[in-house]
Chains A and B, each alone.
Chain A
Amino acid sequence: MAALADFFRALGNSAIITAQATVIAVFASLLAGYAYSRFRSRWLAVPPSC
């Protein structure tokens, strides 16, 4: 029973971490993607194949 409680607590931890990581990554990707798309600079240059 203790192992079961342990597993469900770990499952809850996974859910919390996944939610936090998703929010952070999506927001940061949105900002970076906007900068890459709209601003031209030597530092933002990416290969044409990307």
Chain B
Amino acid sequence: MVRLIPPIVTTLPLFPVTNALGLQDTHVLLAVLYATFFVSLGSFVMRTFIDQIPKEMDEAAAIDGAGRFTTLWRVIMPLSAQGMMAVAVFVAVYAWNEFLFAFIFTSIRAKTAPLVLAEVVGSFDGVEWGTLFAAATVQLLPVLAFVWITQKYLVAGLTAGATKG
């Protein structure tokens, strides 16, 4: 359901809340917002990966004296590392490129790169296309490198559960 709601709809009620909490123009606010919008999809991706881990592993850990959290930490987490990487790629790409929340909830301190690029386009002196494209390329490089390194996990995340049954 969360994924069906257009993000702009949530900004109006969020604005007074963030003001009251003193979170305007902070890194934490944007991080929590981006994470919140992705946890719904991430949960289903993780569920698909964890479904593939036999329940007998949990039971074996329980026999060895492990509690729920220890089982999660010592058994489930290492075995679902691929799923975690897939979720990390999705979230990182979304958070890196997101514009709307950054535009509304930041002004000076936590301003992100897409906002600065947009300011270059909207400057009164005319658009400096050379500067704009250089900056866009610099902004693209880190996320491109990250996705290139982790692309095998991304494919695994997209196809996980595709042949279930």
Contact = CB atoms under 8 A, between A and B. Distances in A.
Contacts of B47: 32-33, 36-37, 50
Contacts of A20: 27-28, 31, 35
B66 interface: no
B147 interface: no
A29 B112 contact: no
Contact of A21 (B31, B80, B115, B138): B31
Contact of A13 (B55, B112, B138): B112
Contact of A28 (B27, B39, B113): B39
Interface string B131-159: 10001001100100000000000000000
Nearest to B80: A30
Contact of A33 (B42, B109, B114): B42
Instruction: Give the interface size class of chain A.
Output: 20 to 34
Interface in B92-126: 92, 95-96, 109-116, 120
Determine the interface band of chain B, counting residues with CB < 8 A from chain A. Answer: 35 or more
Given A10-B112, A30-B80, A24 B46 contact: no
B43 A26 contact: no
B77 A30 contact: yes
Interface of B: 27-28, 30-32, 34-35, 38-39, 42-51, 55, 58, 72, 76-77, 80, 83-84, 87-88, 91-92, 95-96, 109-116, 120, 131, 135, 138-139, 142
**In the complex, the 8 A-B pairs of residues with the closest C-beta atoms, listed nearest first:** A33-B46, A29-B42, A20-B31, A32-B43, A24-B35, A21-B34, A25-B35, A37-B50
Given A29-B43, A33-B49, 15 more contacts: A13-B111, A14-B114, A17-B30, A20-B28, A21-B95, A22-B92, A22-B95, A25-B91, A26-B87, A28-B43, A29-B38, A29-B45, A30-B76, A33-B45, A33-B46
